[in-house]
Each structure stands twice: as C-alpha cells, then as structure tokens.
C-alpha cells in the first residue's frame, strides 16, 4: 500500500524559488485568471510539490482535469508509448488506431442505447462550439437557451452562453446573437424567492409559461445548454425534478438537450456523467478537462442522427491527436478498473458529511452542496441574512494554501473542492481539519 503523504509547508507561500518563476510569468504572460502563487515542480496522485519543496494536497485536480491523480503511471506509460510511435497525423482527415479505439469507447459511454457519434476537440470551449454548430445545423434553428450562472467557455460562441460573471463578457460585445438566459434552480438563493419543494419547481414551469410566450418562440430554439451541476457559477446542484422538467420541455418543442459535462464528467460525481444522477438521456454531451488526465483533449458525443450529411461542414487539425487519445483511453480504463467512480461516490459522501459537520461549527458556511467529489461551500457573513462574504472566502483559500491545501473559488463567494478521484477518506479527513483551522484563522483575521 502507498504510504500516505501529509501536506507540509516549510516556507511562506510563495517561497523564494516560486517568486522567481512568478516574476517571469508576470512579465510575459497575458493577464488571465491567476489565483494563487503556487509554482509546481511535480505532482503524484493528490500531492503537488512546489519549487521550494512544499507539499500540498491538490483539491482542484488542476481545475477539474487530473481525475486519475497527477501523473498516474498508466497514463504516463500510455503517453510515452504513443509519443515514440506517432505524434500527429490529422485524425479528421486520416486514420490511426488510438483515435478509432477512443471513438468507439466514447460512443458507448453514458445514458441511452441509441447510436452515437463523436467529434474530438482540444478544449472545453471548442467542444461547446462544436455543439453550437451541430445543433444549429441539424435543427435548422437559430436560437439557444442557457442558464444564468452558467459557464460554457470563453470563445465567442461559448462565451455567449456563459453567464456566471460579467467580467467574462465585459469589453467583448457583441456576443453571438440568439442566446436567451433564464434563472437556474439555485435553491439557496431562489431567484423567485420561493422555497423547495413547496415551489413545485416554478423556475422550470416559468420557462414555458412566460419566456416561451414573451421572449422567444420555442420552435426557433436549436438547443438548451445545461450544466447538470453549475461549476464556475458556484457549485449549484439543482433538484432532480428541475432538470427532468427542462428535458420534458425540450422534448415537447423539439429542442436538443446539451449536457455540458466538461467539469462534471469522467467520474467526478460518482457516475461517469453527472446527468446520470437525473435519469436524463441528453442529445449531445460536451466533454474535456478530465478526459485526458492532463493532456488537452475534449469531444462531443451526440445522437448519430444529428451528424452532418456531407464532409467539410465542421472539422479541425489537432482533434483526436494520437498521444491525447492514448491518454484518454488509459484514463477511461483506470476510472473503471481501479474503481475510481465508486470511490468518488463513497469518499464524496464522507466529504459532504464532514463539510456539513463543519457547517454546524462555523456559521459562515451558509451552504454545503455537491455530489461525489464535486463539493462546494458558500461563505456568508451571517447565515440569517446570507450576505455574501467574498473577502472572507478568499482569505480562507489563502490560509488553507499556507497549510498545504490547494482549493479554488467559484461563484462570488464559494469554494470548490475537487480532489483527484484516487483520494482516500483519511486524506479527506486531513483536508477537513485544514479547512476547519483555516476558517478559524480567517474569521479571527
């Protein structure tokens, strides 16, 4: 059995070596989304070592990517083997084995027994762009529905669907026309000031009753883009009935249901795709992040009936790169063979209970929510008023890093916890201790 490593922070963060690297990035890198001053040298499983020899538990999985853990030996082996054979040969134009094998594997993942097809991409946003184009083309409709709080990416099409923070869009107008946003089932802060379950899922009914009569004709809508659990928007888990109602509305009006599983897929929630918790069969699934354990690969999986009728309408150069496909084949095998999806369910439940215990102790934890190893807490000034506390949230993240736990924010005032799915309960218990101490210190501060 692997020896359990504990987080160990010996220097202030950033340490002296990290500082030098950070200065380089600051000078030359475009301003993006840097959040914490952690400069990593290597990673193994859930543990990251920085340039100054500090050891951290990675509760971000490199922002939802390393579901099999950092540098899983079977992924590394698959990448090394393939790299020595063939690095690239335009899979959209020609043929090679890792791509064909992965196509077959992906086509058989997820709910629904109908025939499915696959298109490979290089990122989450490119998967969403591919879904936008396919749904518009196949439906011959122009409009799209998405949710307030959604994050679907940052290129112009996906950015138009994104609606979680206005900083993403400010300065980039005009966005793609034809996108309509409606409120999500964010029960902790119900946009209609109702209470679940007495609300009877008004937030779904109102779409048909109001928005489809006043805002947009549903027969013009190509697709409804849905995150089964909102990610960047704050780790918001909707009631099951909400998504079931949305799916029924889609079926009634011939609207394609797109499940964006870029963050929630690949076992993260204790099922291969989060939408499986809701017993829904989507028409299109978008994937990326966890798909290649760190290598850049994404895809859409879709009902074969939607496929383009001729060559040339959509394609790319790097999609289905042989090295990335090999990493993804290894990733899928590991998730199944090593029981990581089951582990995500079990350890996730343990984690959720631990966070709920912390909520009893710390009144600033307004809400605990998540499924499997996609857990989040919302930080408030006071549980009664639910006033958001983004400054305190940031402080908690900062203190935790200095104790060896790397987490990342989401929404305005939430923290997400998305460790690699190889994590053990004892390691979650250590993380819970760090979260507990970090909240104490941040609140005192």
Write out the residues near ligand PLP by the rule CB under 6 A.
Answer: 123-125, 128, 151-153, 227, 231-232, 260, 262-263, 288
Shortest distance, CB of residue 113 to ligand PLP, whole angstroms?
A: 26
- 150 vs 400, beta carbon nearer ligand PLP: 150
- For 428, what's the count of Cα atoms within 13 Å in the CB-facing half-sphere? 25
Strand bridging mode 284-287 / 256-260: parallel
- 68 vs 438, beta carbon nearer ligand PLP: 68
Shortest distance, CB of residue 150 to ligand PLP, whole angstroms?
A: 8
Residues written for the chain = 445
Shortest distance, CB of residue 87 to ligand PLP, whole angstroms?
A: 22
- Nearest Cα neighbor of 262 from 301, 208, 213, 308 is 301
- 299 vs 399, beta carbon nearer ligand PLP: 299
236 torsion bin: left (phi>0), alpha (psi -120 to 50), beta (else):
beta
Burial state string for 227-241 with b = 16 or more CB within 10 A and e = fewer than 16: bbbbbbbbbbbbbee
Q: What DSSP line would sit under 175-189, residue for residue?
A: --TTEEEE----GGG
- 255 vs 410, beta carbon nearer ligand PLP: 410
- 125 vs 438, beta carbon nearer ligand PLP: 125
Which two three-digit tokens encode residue 380?
């408030």
Shortest distance, CB of residue 401 to ligand PLP, whole angstroms?
A: 20
- 150 vs 365, beta carbon nearer ligand PLP: 150
- For 158, what's the count of Cα atoms within 13 Å in the CB-facing half-sphere? 20
Shortest distance, CB of residue 260 to ligand PLP, whole angstroms?
A: 5
Cα 326 to Cα 77: distance, rounded to the nearest angstrom: 10
Shortest distance, CB of residue 36 to ligand PLP, whole angstroms?
A: 16
Burial state string for 312-333 with b = 16 or more CB within 10 A and e = fewer than 16: eeeebebbbbbbbbbbbbbbbe
Shortest distance, CB of residue 227 to ligand PLP, whole angstroms?
A: 5
Instruction: State the DSSP H helix or E strand holding residue 256, giving kind and residue range, or none if neither.
Output: strand 256-260
Cα 84 to Cα 271: distance, rounded to the nearest angstrom: 34
- 264 vs 438, beta carbon nearer ligand PLP: 264
- For 282, what's the count of Cα atoms within 13 Å in the CB-facing half-sphere? 29
Shortest distance, CB of residue 297 to ligand PLP, whole angstroms?
A: 10
Name the residue with the smallest CB distance to ligand PLP. 124
Shortest distance, CB of residue 262 to ligand PLP, whole angstroms?
A: 4
- 5 vs 109, beta carbon nearer ligand PLP: 109
Shortest distance, CB of residue 245 to ligand PLP, whole angstroms?
A: 21
Number of H helices, E strands in the chain: 13, 15
- 258 vs 434, beta carbon nearer ligand PLP: 258
Which two three-digit tokens encode residue 391?
């400054």
Strand bridging mode 55-58 / 284-287: unpaired
Instruction: State the DSSP H helix or E strand holding residue 311, giving kind and residue range, or none if neither.
Output: none
Cα 208 to Cα 315: distance, rounded to the nearest angstrom: 35
ω into residue 174 within 30 of 0, thus cis?
yes
Integer angstrom CA distances of residue 158 from 32, 146, 168, 222:
17, 10, 11, 15
- 75 vs 128, beta carbon nearer ligand PLP: 128
- 128 vs 345, beta carbon nearer ligand PLP: 128
Q: Which runs of consecutive H residues, i.e. helices, occur in 201-309?
A: 202-206, 212-214, 240-253
Shortest distance, CB of residue 126 to ligand PLP, whole angstroms?
A: 7
């Amino acid at each position: 059995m692997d020896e359990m490593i504990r987080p160990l922070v010996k220097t202030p963060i950033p340490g002296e070596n990290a500082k030098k690297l950070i200065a380089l990035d600051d000078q030359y890198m475009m301003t993006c989304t840097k959040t914490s001053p952690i400069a990593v040298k290597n990673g193994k499983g859930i543990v990251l070592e920085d340039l100054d020899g500090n050891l951290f538990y990675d509760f971000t999985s490199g922002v939802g990517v390393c579901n099999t853990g950092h540098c899983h030996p079977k992924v590394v082996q698959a990448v090394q083997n393939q790299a020595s054979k063939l690095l690239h040969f335009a899979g959209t134009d020609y043929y090679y084995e890792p791509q064909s094998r992965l196509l077959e594997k992906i086509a058989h993942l997820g709910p629904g027994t109908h025939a499915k097809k696959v298109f490979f991409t290089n990122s989450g946003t490119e998967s969403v762009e591919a879904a936008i184009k396919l749904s518009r083309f196949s439906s011959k409709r122009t409009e799209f529905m998405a949710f307030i709080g959604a994050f679907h990416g940052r290129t112009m099409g996906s950015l138009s669907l994104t609606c979680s923070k206005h900083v993403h869009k400010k300065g980039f107008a005009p966005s793609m026309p034809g996108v309509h946003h409606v409120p999500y089932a964010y029960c902790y802060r119900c946009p209609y000031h109702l209470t679940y379950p007495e609300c009877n899922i008004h937030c779904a009914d109102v779409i048909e009753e109001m928005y489809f009569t006043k805002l947009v004709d549903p027969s013009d809508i190509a697709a409804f883009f849905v995150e089964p659990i909102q990610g960047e928007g704050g780790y918001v888990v909707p009631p099951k009935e909400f998504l079931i109602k949305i799916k029924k509305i889609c079926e009634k009006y011939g609207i394609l249901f797109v499940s964006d599983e870029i963050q929630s897929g690949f076992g993260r929630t204790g099922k291969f795709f989060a939408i499986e918790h809701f017993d829904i069969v989507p028409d299109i699934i978008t994937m990326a992040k966890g798909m290649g354990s760190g290598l850049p690969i994404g895809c859409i999986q879709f009902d074969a009936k939607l496929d383009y009728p001729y060559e040339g309408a959509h394609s790319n150069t790097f999609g289905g790169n042989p090295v990335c496909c090999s990493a993804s084949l290894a990733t899928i095998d590991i998730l199944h063979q090593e029981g990581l999806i089951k582990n995500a369910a079990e350890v996730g439940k343990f984690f959720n209970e631990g966070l709920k215990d912390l909520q009893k102790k710390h009144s600033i934890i307004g809400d605990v929510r998540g499924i499997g190893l996609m857990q989040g807490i919302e930080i408030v000034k006071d549980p009664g008023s639910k006033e958001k506390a983004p400054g305190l949230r940031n402080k908690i993240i900062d203190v935790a890093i200095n104790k060896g736990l790397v987490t990342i924010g989401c929404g305005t005032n939430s923290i997400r916890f998305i460790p690699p799915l190889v994590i053990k309960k004892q390691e979650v218990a250590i993380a819970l201790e760090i979260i507990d101490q970090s909240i104490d210190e941040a609140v005192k501060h």
